[in-house]
Structures are given as structure tokens and as C-alpha cells.
Chain A
């Protein structure tokens, strides 16, 4: 009956979509301008990369004639352009464990439950950057276990204030910052959660659901978009100096150990340069640098520098 009085709505939607362009000429030009600016920046950076080694080489050429023959025999610096094959990264999901062992470095998730503030006794509450309030507390009654969690300002100011419970324990030296890790997170909270342990919680805050993605040993954390798909990964260095890359794969955060991937041996040092998004493997006289390949889970060697005994 209504269909006779009104044109069918699906046709209207299609008609509306086709009516007028919305990605304007101005927007197209803005994109081209930005790309041009980025290209110039990259060119300037590449000039620096060329200029610095060239300067070093000139310096060596200048200094070498002044070295004694013994000194010269002990040191020669060679930069090679030979590169290894790309290293495929084999991401693994978190093990399904009833009890999480000390050595487990997986990121796990938990949907957080709301707890009425009236049902707890707060022992410590810290407001961080006006973002969230960290709290640790005991529950009213005989339970003396310490629990901790957080609350948004709006929740604490409501008529029936509530907080999100993370679990038992407590954290100190808590730091909070905005985060877009894994395309899931809104906030990242990390702090001391043991004598020599730093825990990190990535919090995803939706209108009706808050999820914590947590890793129980994270001394240093970076959140780059390594593969260039618009979703950030996490590069985490643990207290034990292990380095992991965490990536959202089909909704599950999976991990790969960088030392294992690069076949690092005892004594080798693996570092991450956040500015250039490069992983570096050093074994005393040999340094290799790797970058993540765009769109592929592989590390591609971009540079090798060998310092070897000369003859």
C-alpha cells in the first residue's frame, strides 16, 4: 500500500548515491600535495643516509694512511650490499592454558566486569592524565585479597559509581596513554606488577563492553604499523630481553619472537629502532638491519655492516 505512494526506498538510496560526487577536486589535490611533501621528506632522509656513510668513508681514507701497520691490520670496515633472503615470520596464537606460566608471553584478552564502588574498600586511587582513575581495593567482607582495576571519570561521577575490575593484585607506577594497537585498543596502561615485572593492559572501550588485552612482561613497548595495513602492531621488549611482535590476525592477537626469527645466537643483541622501524641484529662484528615488508609477514634485510679482522 505504502509502496504505491512512495518510490521504493532501495531505488532512492541508489539514486542518492549517484547524485553528486563527494570526493572533491580539493581533496584530490590535498592528497597529491601531501604525497609530494612526503616524497621530498623521504628524499632528504635518503640524502642523509648517503651523506653520512660517504663522510665516514672520506674520514677513513683520510685517517688510514696515518695509522701504523699494526693498527691497520687490526681493523677494516666493510659495508656490504649483500642481503639475505627475506625472513618469514611465523605468528603463533596464545596457548590454551588453564594456568599461565612465567614464561608465557602471549597477549590474552578478558571482558571486564563492572563492580559497584559501594562494594569495595579502595586502598589506592590515582588519576592519570585526566584519562582514567587507577584503583586497587579489597572487597567488603572477609576477603582480604587485593584487586585492581580502573574507572572512567564519567563512571565515578554517576549516581551509582562503578569501576572495571581487571583482577587480583595491584600495580604501581602506572602510566596511561592513548593507543590504537591492533585496531582494538583505546588506552594502554602499563606499570609495575611484581618485583621485576612490568605488565601492560591494552583497553578496548566500547559503549557496552570493555576488553583488556594484557601481556605480563613488557619493559618497553612500541606500537608501529609494521605491515602498512592501517592497523598498528606492538613490538615489546621483555624484562628478560626477549623481543616479540604482536599482531591482530583474524581478530586474535598472535605473537612471534624476533630473536628466534632472526636466528640470533647466545650473545647476539637484537634491538628495534622505532624511528626507522628497523630490527637490528648485532653479533659483535656483524650488524644486520631488517624492515618489515609491507603487506607481508616477512623481515627484509636492508643493510649489513661487517667489521672484520684485516690482513
Chain B
């Protein structure tokens, strides 16, 4: 609710943008990372999101929470980036190569081994499942907000969330 005033703002100056980056930057980065599973792409996308925010602040009218609006920009940019990335990989290498730097990149901010383990399990889920799980656990989005962001029904959100939980719990048990 602290961002309620943002819907009345036409333009934001550098100081305000800096404050927004401080407040939401980590959330945006984590969501970009949940989508791309790629450290460098998440860095690029997160910065691009705030450049878009600066350019198009006047288009935020409070139809959703500011965080959900930020996430919808993040999602659009990430999906575009992944599509172009996928076609580059297919055409240059003939097959999609998995990203192998995930754990080492993650470990820069996750010291605890258990946290790393569970993180690796989640990032091993399909994009749809890990996205919904992390939106719920890391970002505390409601079912309604997730449905709005992902443009799917609330029933589908619940179903994906349930499947994601079950898969993580199964792999978590197996990992011992």
C-alpha cells in the first residue's frame, strides 16, 4: 500500500526511481531469475524493467498492485528474452543446452547448503511450476494476483501450485 501514490504519478525523477529500485529491485531480479534460470539474463532483465518503469510510469493506474505491474513488465521482457535465446541456441548448437552455472551463481547469495538444495530442486521444476511456486513463497502474491499476472484462471493457479508443491516435496524427500 506504500506505493499507492504511484498511480497518480506521470513521471518519476532519478531519486524516486532509485528508491523504487531499492524497494523492489531484489523482487524483480528474483522473479526474472525464476523465469530464466540464468543469472546474466536476470541481471539484464531487472535493469531493463526499471528503465521501462521510468519511461512508462504514467501508464500505471493502480489496476493491480505496483509489484504485480512490475512483475508483468518483468514477465514480458523475460519471455521475449527466452524466446530469442532459445532460437539462438537451437540454430547455433542444434539443441538446447542446459545452463550449468546455476548453482555456482546461486551460491553467491545462498550460503546455507539446505537452502541451496531446496533452491536447486525448485529451479529444476518446469518453468510454469517454479514460477508459480516462487511467486507464492518468495513474493507472497495472492492466488488472484498470480492469476492476473499470468493471465490464467485462479483454478489453474491452484492446480499448478499444488503440483509444484508435490513435486518439490517428493524430490526433497528423495534427496536425503
- Chain A nearest CB: distance from B119 CB in Å? 6
Across-interface contacts of B115 in A (CB, < 8 A)? 12-13, 15-16, 19
A74 within 8 A of B: no
| Distance to closest chain A CB from B167 (angstroms) | 12
CB of A230 within 8 A of CB of B112, answer no
How many chain-B residues does the 8 Å CB contact rule pick out? Answer: 61
With A14-B138, A16-B112, A230-B80 known as contacts, the answer to whether A178 contacts B29 (CB < 8 A) is no
Task: Report the 4 A-B pairs with minimum CB-CB distance, sorted nearest first.
Answer: A295-B59, A23-B25, A230-B76, A154-B94
Q: Nearest Cβ distance between residue A43 and chain B, in whole angstroms?
A: 15
How far, in Å, is B75 (CB) from chain A's closest CB?
9
CB within 8 Å for A157 and B137 given contacts A23-B26, A180-B80, A205-B87: no
Task: Report A-chain residues with C-beta under 8 Å of the C-beta of B80.
Answer: 180, 183, 230-231
Determine the chain B residues whose CB is within 8 A of the CB of A275 once the complex forms.
Answer: none
Q: Which residue of B lies closest to A15 (CB)?
A: B115
CB–CB B168/A31 < 8 A: no
A230 near B119 with CB under 8 A, answer no
Q: Tell me if A6 and B176 are in contact (CB < 8 A).
A: yes
Do B118 and A186 touch (CB < 8 A)?
Answer: no
The A-B contact count (CB < 8 A) is 152
Chain A stretch 92-107: residues in CB contact (< 8 A) with chain B: none
A21, B21: Cα distance in complex, Å: 11
Residue B102 is within 8 A (CB to CB) of chain A in the complex: no
- A89–B91 Cα distance when bound, in Å, is 38
| Nearest residue, chain A, Cβ from B14 | A32
Q: Please, how many angstroms separate the alpha-carbon atoms of A186 and B90 in the complex?
A: 11
B118 touches A13 (CB 8 A): yes
Q: List B residues 77-131 near A (Cβ within 8 Å).
A: 77, 79-80, 83-84, 86-87, 90-91, 94-96, 109-112, 114-116, 118-119, 121-122
- 5 contacting pairs across A/B (C-beta < 8 A): A10-B137, A17-B138, A204-B83, A205-B90, A228-B59
Could you list which residues of chain B lie within 8 angstroms of chain A, going by C-beta atoms? Answer: 14, 17-18, 21-22, 25-26, 28-30, 33, 42-43, 46-47, 50-52, 54-56, 58-61, 72-73, 76-77, 79-80, 83-84, 86-87, 90-91, 94-96, 109-112, 114-116, 118-119, 121-122, 133-134, 137-138, 151, 168-169, 172-173, 176
Q: Answer whether A12 and B118 are a contact pair too, CB < 8 Å, given A180-B80, A185-B83.
A: yes
Given contacts A16-B119, A23-B25, contact A153 B109 (CB under 8 A): no
Q: Which residues of A contact B79 (CB under 8 A)?
A: 183
Chain B CB within 10 Å — which of A22, A152, A178, A294 has the most?
A22
Knowing A9-B169, A9-B172, the reply to whether A30 touches B47 (Cβ < 8 A) is yes
- Chain B residues with CB under 8 A of A35: 14, 17, 51, 54
CA distance A296 to B138 in the complex (A): 31
Q: Which of A23, A180, A296 contacts B46 (CB 8 A)?
A: A23
